[in-house]
Structure formats: C-alpha cells, structure tokens
Amino acid sequence: MKTFQLTAKKKITLALVVVIVVALLIFIINVQMNQPDNLPANYMERLKNPGMTGDYIGLWKSRWHEENKAWIYPAKQYAIYAVAALARLSVWVVASKAKFWK
C-alpha cells in the first residue's frame, strides 16, 4: 500500500476535520437514538391518552427531540451531508500535491 507523505499543514487540517466529523456523528447518533419508537410498548395507553409523547430509547430520554422535531430532523440530514463532504475533503487533502500544502 502506498504511504502518504503528510506535511504539517495536512496533519493539522485532517485533525480539524476529524474533530468536526466526530462532533457531527455524535449529533447524528443522538438524534437517531432519541427518535420515538414506531410501535411503543404502551400502545394501548397511548390510545387512551393521545397527548402522550413517544417512548424514547437512547441517551437522554427527553421530550426535547419531540418538541424540536421541526428543525432537528432536517439538521440531521444536513449533518449527514456534511460528514460525506468532509470525508471527500479529507481524501482530497491526503491525495493533493498542490503547492499550498507544502
């Protein structure tokens, strides 16, 4: 396998990209894990009380995701697109032979 010659600029850029990607992945996983279940265990109770919010699995088990779903689920999609773009950027940084990186 080919070894890449990474300059200091490339190493710093890749470290920043990794930090941003990890933060975005934490956000994506948190939103995904806290979505309401499709068919909750207490389905019959929910029929009796339609004001109940969904059962949550995951990290925080709060109603915050339910109350903010108008913007949080589109933000999750944009975060997925950003992770894909940052992955492409990091491949470009590693493979680039431009003078900027020297």
**In terms of residue numbers, what domain contains 31?**
8-36+55-97
Distance CA 31, CA 49 (A): 25
Residue 48 within any structural domain of the chain: no
Query: Residue 75's pLDDT band (boundaries 50, 70, 90)?
Result: very high
pLDDT of amino acid 62:
59
Residue 69 within any structural domain of the chain: yes
Considering the entire predicted model, what is its pTM?
0.69
Q: Return the minimum-mean-pLDDT range out of 62-66, 76-80, 84-88, 90-94.
A: 62-66
Could you give phi then psi for residue 56, rounded to 5 degrees? Answer: -115, 145
Our measurement of the distance from residue 86's CA atom to the centroid of its chain's CA atoms, rounded to an integer in Å, reads 12
Residue 102 within any structural domain of the chain: no
Question: What total of structural domains would you count in the chain?
Answer: 1
Distance CA 34, CA 63 (A): 9
